[in-house]
């Protein structure tokens, strides 16, 4: 399988930052430890489903086609790992030899992350891309309009369901159920579905804590001064001028802009995480299946890099200046939030545990 030189995609700053969070220094052969095992679990479930479908097509006169959807592609990790595994295992070649048309549909909001996956995988003839939001009409495009009704064999949703509020989650689940075949399968994974298991936290908990600490620094100058006073001379040199810059940002912030910033933060990271109970209930309207969870270790540096992704900086738009905002978030994450997490109940010898949740589901049989 030929893949473009990923280093050519560095000009997409936002996409490259997320890609490096998922792959060590952006190297496609080295998935990061916090994301690689969970993605592999998802991908192997999808491959087994594809192989089951391939076996069924051998034994029947059904249309020789297998259609897979990656719902919420982002920069393309799950899609790439699926293609790589299908290629390395020979499944992709055997499907073609059998005369089966294989189609992988990648779907997401238009933006720099999705642009990255289009550049990474757009040269593959069996990959199709679908923007799920109409920027002109300013509304989401129903999944059946993009993919048709009842024609998809497998849907993967990697690191998506923890980002969607329950009402939107219900619409997403219904749309997935509509595009799947009656015997189709849905597999998903998410690192921010609560409650956290023992000895772990959720993926976005550091960001939630960082926002609260940044707000305190923003509203209490003495707190920011005390925090900086606890740093070594070398550490503090990174933040020269920060108190004055933060004070200026607060002085220029209108009431309306502050409300807008709060709204933006809640859209970037849910203030209260979706729970397994909520997700099970929402999925239960259209699917049968199970939700399970396990703890995977994450390194402190990964959390810091996650917060440094340009899009993720929207978590604190009270400060309009991107450099000042990044500096404040770096300060509270590195010197307050992460030390507290690592020394707490979730701490491990090298980092801390995060709870990953997984689901495997089939559409409910309709009466009659």
Quick one: pLDDT at residue 5?
87
Report strand pairing: 133-134 vs 139-140: antiparallel
The rounded mean pLDDT for the chain is 95
**pLDDT digits over 23-44, tens only?**
999 999 999 999 999 999 999 9
Kindly indicate the confidence band of residue 96, based on its pLDDT and cuts at 50, 70 and 90.
very high
Answer yes or no: is pLDDT of 368 > 60.
no
Kindly indicate the confidence band of residue 319, based on its pLDDT and cuts at 50, 70 and 90.
very high
**pLDDT digits over 233-249, tens only?**
999 999 999 999 999 99
Report strand pairing: 65-71 vs 101-108: parallel
Q: Whose CA is closest to 306, among 282, 334, 273?
A: 334
Mean per-residue pLDDT for 5-16? Answer: 94
Answer yes or no: is pLDDT of 367 > 60.
no
**pLDDT digits over 167-213, tens only?**
999 999 999 999 999 999 999 999 999 999 999 999 999 999 999 99
Kindly indicate the confidence band of residue 366, based on its pLDDT and cuts at 50, 70 and 90.
low
Quick one: pLDDT at residue 243?
97
Answer yes or no: is pLDDT of 73 > 60.
yes
Answer yes or no: is pLDDT of 58 > 90.
no
Give the rounded percent of residues in the chain with a pLDDT score beyond 70.
98
pTM to 2 decimal places: 0.95
Kindly indicate the confidence band of residue 365, based on its pLDDT and cuts at 50, 70 and 90.
confident
| 147-175 exposure pattern, b = at least 16 Cβ within 10 A, e = fewer | beeeebbbbbbbbbbbbbeeeebbebbeb
Quick one: pLDDT at residue 237?
96
Q: What is the DSSP letter of 31?
A: B
In the numeric block, the tokens 């926002």 are attached to 211
Q: Whose CA is closest to 337, among 208, 202, 196, 192?
A: 208
Q: What is the DSSP letter of 275?
A: B
- What DSSP letter does each residue of 181-232 carry, written as one string? EEEEEEEEEES--BSPPTT-B-TTHHHHHHHHHHHHHHH-HHHHHHHHHTS-
Classify 347 as helix, strand or coil. Answer: strand
60 burial type by CB count under 10 A (0-12 exposed, 13-18 middle, 19+ buried): exposed
Quick one: pLDDT at residue 79?
98
Quick one: pLDDT at residue 309?
97
């Amino acid at each position: 399988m030929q893949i473009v030189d990923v280093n050519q995609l560095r000009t997409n700053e936002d996409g490259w930052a997320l890609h490096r969070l998922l792959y060590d220094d952006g190297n496609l052969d080295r998935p990061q430890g916090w994301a690689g095992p969970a993605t592999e679990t998802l991908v192997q479930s999808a491959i087994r489903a594809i192989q089951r479908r391939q076996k069924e097509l051998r034994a029947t006169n059904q249309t020789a086609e297998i259609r897979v959807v990656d719902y919420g592609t982002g920069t393309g990790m799950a899609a790439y790992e699926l293609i790589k595994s299908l290629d390395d295992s020979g499944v992709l070649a055997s499907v073609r030899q059998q005369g089966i048309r294989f189609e992988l549909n990648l779907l997401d909001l238009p933006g720099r992350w999705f642009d990255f996956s289009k550049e990474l995988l757009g040269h593959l003839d069996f990959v199709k891309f679908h923007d799920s939001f109409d920027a002109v009409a300013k509304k989401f495009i129903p999944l059946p309009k993009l993919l048709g009704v009842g024609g998809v064999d497998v849907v993967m949703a990697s690191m998506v369901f923890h980002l969607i509020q329950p009402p939107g989650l219900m619409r997403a689940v219904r749309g997935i159920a509509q595009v799947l075949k009656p015997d189709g399968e849905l597999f998903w994974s998410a690192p921010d579905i609560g409650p956290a298991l023992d000895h772990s936290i959720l993926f976005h908990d550091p960001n939630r804590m960082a926002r609260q600490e940044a707000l305190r620094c923003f509203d209490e100058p003495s707190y920011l001064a005390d925090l900086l006073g606890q740093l070594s001379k070398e550490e503090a040199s990174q933040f020269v001028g920060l108190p004055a810059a933060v004070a200026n940002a607060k002085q220029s912030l209108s009431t309306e802009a502050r409300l807008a910033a709060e709204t933006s933060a809640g859209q970037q990271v849910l203030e209260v995480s979706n729970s397994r109970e909520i997700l099970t209930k929402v999925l239960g309207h259209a699917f049968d299946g199970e939700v399970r969870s396990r703890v995977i270790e994450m390194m402190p540096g990964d959390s810091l890099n996650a917060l440094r992704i340009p899009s993720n900086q929207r978590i604190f738009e009270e400060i309009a200046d991107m450099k000042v905002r990044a500096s404040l978030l770096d300060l509270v994450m590195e010197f307050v939030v992460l030390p507290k997490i690592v020394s707490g109940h979730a701490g491990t010898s090298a980092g801390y545990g995060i709870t990953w949740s997984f689901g495997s589901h089939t559409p409910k049989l309709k009466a009659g």
